[in-house]
Structure 1
């Protein structure tokens, strides 16, 4: 049912009360998920333009200029609520939906990333969700031949009742082949191509704008779409062929709000109306009503604007790929969204009212009382044991069990594979595309503004250690109920922080998604604020991209950046039961300078290995660099008057470990940013000493600790 105030506004604007079909259209298109009612004023604070931005927010995907006539399409979406109710199909269709956003722009999807957030794996329910969400992503992505090249998997109690499934997709196209969702001309026809339309996914957009409860698993299962990756693969090829032939003038994926959403938005973007014949839609179930036809979110469907003389050619392409295709309507000069069914008019809505009429507003926000920093823990008696415990925690442990289920090498572009700081793909000759994703929700929980800034700095560091400069980002802003002033304050502050960091690095925010109401009655809590992002960048020459592991006996190891007493939100503090204690890492002007300097240093070609320092701190980053060879590390000069645990486990931003055989050259290039020589590569152990500690880890001990998640899942 429409909220009372919405019904009043619509009735006044239309001069009558909307009928059932019209109410279904408004219910979905005016939902938080589609209309960004609580978030639109805040999202306007982002800088969305830049030298490389061809198409920014508002279309199915953004288009970014890469070079030499190539463009990148990038989009990011969430499928959080569906993945709780039906983890396999929820996550699978999350992949399918974002891939169609890319192909509807005329780009071939070339890579996926999947930032995922779960409750701890110590309950059967969380373990079930974890296994089946991964299975759904792998099953869909592998079948359609799009590699999953990067991801994040984060565990926190707040996600127990509401896991998050965020997906980023990047596509590649020639600039001249790009199409948009902006309808072009009255009289042109609408062709729906792909799968049939069924009752799966009914009301998905409105469902995504509610919080979850235990009962949701049964009563909301009709809101979950069922994916067919084999049909998706055919839809990819058919769509790109039709666009390549010049038949498609505008195009839209059928995602949230189904046919009602895609078609009305296409018309309104072109300042046109539309007349649809709902009975021309090819159905998979008998007896579907016009209400169901219009708002069903059945997967693998694309809507195309086609000139009348090219309709038969597009229908023939559909037949060639064994897809269902039919002409279902036309664009009109009359600015109304009209739906007919079996000769009767079942909807007649002012199109701009439907797509742009939902009231948007800033909700009340209230900052919490100032947080107590709290006491520090007692220094551990056995520091080596603490390092191994952190390495084996599920947030830090290797995610190999996950990414081994994904085909990350299909399309043979992948240069840097999963497990590295950033994925790197070969695009044309010479330079590469670098990709990173995710955030640190605990940092954002303790300080939403600094957490928002840190999200971009850490992803930028992931690119910088590959010599890549960030050129565009998309976001997936996952938060609890915005009607709660404390949650809306978190939401607002995180957006402001992310936006400020983006401006400081000159990286435009070109698209994304907002996912609110992420909380459940079952657990009675909102998720930790999770401003997850996808960041893309351009490397220097590919031969200068360093590896992530120690290499070269006797090579010099340099730590870049300052290590401070910034333990708030750290994995170490969480492990010792101080989740809400400590100073949150802050982003400074120096952080931005470190990012920019690192890019130049790596591109110069004298760095053989590089690794960002982030979750878990220095002890973790050094351990992760141990593969076939160890290192001798001296941290005596790192940090001013810091305790041993601060030095080893602080998560201060903008730090990296560089390995070089030309230390003087690298140090010269690092002259304007903090840096310290901390050791040399060599041996079969990682030996770390500092003020008050001296420990040694064998390569086998490190490997065993990091394999904890894989070992648990294989048992």
Structure 2
């Protein structure tokens, strides 16, 4: 996948290509129909010329195969060999498999014999719209009032809650999985996996850095499918912005249950609407994606899972996401509102997924992005990280573990449990120039709170105090133990 990306980036710098399409669901069929349908043209394909990973594949299988790491390219005539040379340089197969025609039909050949003819326009531009019945799930009324009680928590309860949340697989470092694969192909990984926030790749040819981040909180999508989906877009974009890059676009993978169930279809429709609203407000168009439905076991559907990946570009310095220096003032930017619906606290401590979510203020979200980008370019920041699952406490703890630097923090809370609250549109910043930082925050209308300072061998937030070495052992080691225990 990474080699394919590198080859395509090199190809984009040329004028050899008229169009390019990533192959998604239904593979060659959907990709070729989309390209021909948009242009009002036809297409002639020789399927026996398609590079195959298995011997003995039939024309039917070749058209519908959803093999990964493939692109369909429409090239200028006469540039075929030059394009092949680019892909060969990256050790990738590339083959001429057909040509554009004016027939308005998809003509499929197999070793010179016509294997099938399909009209393009009726399928690509005039396909019937499936209007399934929808119904708001009954469970939503049942869980809407199940928010946390207002009784707060003792110091002992907070300490126990921290241990439960920090030890949850969702929080733990996943390097046991991804370290088995090479993350340094072409030596272009400017910010490697595991360093929190967005990953960053360098484009050698022009010095631009590509920042990419993924996000989706399935519990919040279960509690409120529209807000949860919009939040996935916002959270992925926020991670990109915290790296200093400008978020530009998203791709999505919409995973839902059985759409023949009206309640699941309602979740799906609401999720699409949430993504649409967020992308329009945040100026991050959907440029690709796919849909996976019928995800259920024993008649029980999965929680709505609209996974979002955001990509952005950065021509300046990358902002680290961990405590990369001691003696740095640490600030929280954004409002804490006591949001526990669908939170990791409620899952691990309360053992339930419930509550009601407030609306997501997309204007405030975009202001936070723009603030982080400008602050980064101004040299004001030492580090920055989006506040994610587990709230401020867990976000700070992860930053301490990855950076190997502790810190002493005091967060003013209306409820002692708010250190774990998962309010939207918040981020942690390590600040070099506090006066300029405050000036920029005021410019963007953002609230801020000074939490403390990085440094030392202890991690503390309010009454929760942990030895950093012990935290690191949990963060970097426990996930592998969990996986191995389930073998």
TM tier, smaller? 0.7 to 0.9
Of residues 446, 454, 463 in structure 2, which corresponds to 1:681? 454
Local SS of the residue matching 1:605: coil
Task: For residue 705 of structure 1, report the CA deviation from its aligned partner.
Answer: 2.5
* Structure 1 residue 643 corresponds to structure 2 residue 415: yes
1:179 is matched with which residue?
17
Matches within 5 A, 1:70-469: 108=7, 171=9, 173-177=11-15, 179-181=17-19, 256-257=25-26, 260-276=29-45, 285=55, 291-292=60-61, 294-295=63-64, 331-339=100-108, 345-369=114-138, 370=141, 371-374=143-146, 376=148, 379=153, 381-419=156-194, 420-428=196-204, 431-469=208-246
**Cα deviation code 1:621-665 (max 9, x no counterpart):** 111121432212112xx34xx3211x1110111111212243222
Task: For residue 388 of structure 1, report the CA deviation from its aligned partner.
Answer: 1.8
Task: For residue 495 of structure 1, report the CA deviation from its aligned partner.
Answer: 1.8
Task: For residue 560 of structure 1, report the CA deviation from its aligned partner.
Answer: 0.9
Structure-1 separation of matches of 2:419 and 2:263: 33
1:593 is matched with which residue?
367
RMSD: 3.5
Structure-1 separation of matches of 2:80 and 2:382: 55
Residues 1:421 and 1:273: Cα distance change in structure 2 (over 3 Å): closer
1:620 is matched with which residue?
394
Residues 1:669 and 1:408: Cα distance change in structure 2 (over 3 Å): same
* Structure 1 residue 517 corresponds to structure 2 residue 287: no
**Cα deviation code 1:131-160 (max 9, x no counterpart):** xxxxxxxxxxxxxxxxxxxxxxxxxxxxxx
Residues 1:506 and 1:699: Cα distance change in structure 2 (over 3 Å): same
- The answer to whether the 8 Å contact 1:363/1:488 transfers is yes
1:574 is matched with which residue?
347
2:425 is matched with which residue?
654
Residues 1:550 and 1:302: Cα distance change in structure 2 (over 3 Å): closer
Structure-2 separation of matches of 1:392 and 1:433: 31
Aligned residues: 470
Structure 2's unaligned 5+ residue stretches are none
- The answer to whether the 8 Å contact 1:443/1:585 transfers is no
TM normalised by structure 2 equals 0.84
Residues 1:545 and 1:178: Cα distance change in structure 2 (over 3 Å): farther
**Cα deviation code 1:20-46 (max 9, x no counterpart):** xxxxxxxxxxxxxxxxxxxxxxxxxxx
Structure-1 separation of matches of 2:284 and 2:90: 40
Structure-1 separation of matches of 2:81 and 2:435: 68
Residues 1:714 and 1:290: Cα distance change in structure 2 (over 3 Å): closer
TM normalised by structure 1 equals 0.59
Local SS of the residue matching 1:618: helix
- The answer to whether the 8 Å contact 1:398/1:710 transfers is no
Local SS of the residue matching 1:625: helix
Task: For residue 350 of structure 1, report the CA deviation from its aligned partner.
Answer: 2.2
Structure-1 separation of matches of 2:439 and 2:83: 60
- The answer to whether the 8 Å contact 2:220/2:342 transfers is yes
1:217 is matched with which residue?
none
Of residues 476, 479, 482 in structure 2, which corresponds to 1:709? 479
Structure-1 separation of matches of 2:287 and 2:437: 34
- The answer to whether the 8 Å contact 1:476/1:515 transfers is yes
Of residues 699, 706, 710 in structure 1, which corresponds to 2:468? 699
Structure 1's unaligned 5+ residue stretches are 1-94, 110-170, 182-250
Of residues 301, 309, 313 in structure 2, which corresponds to 1:538? 313
Structure-1 separation of matches of 2:91 and 2:178: 32
Task: For residue 398 of structure 1, report the CA deviation from its aligned partner.
Answer: 1.2
**Cα deviation code 1:177-210 (max 9, x no counterpart):** 46244xxxxxxxxxxxxxxxxxxxxxxxxxxxxx
Task: For residue 546 of structure 1, report the CA deviation from its aligned partner.
Answer: 3.5
Local SS of the residue matching 1:610: strand
Structure-2 separation of matches of 1:603 and 1:319: 38
Q: Which piece of structure 1 moves more, 624-633 or 421-430?
A: 421-430
Structure-2 separation of matches of 1:614 and 1:608: 19
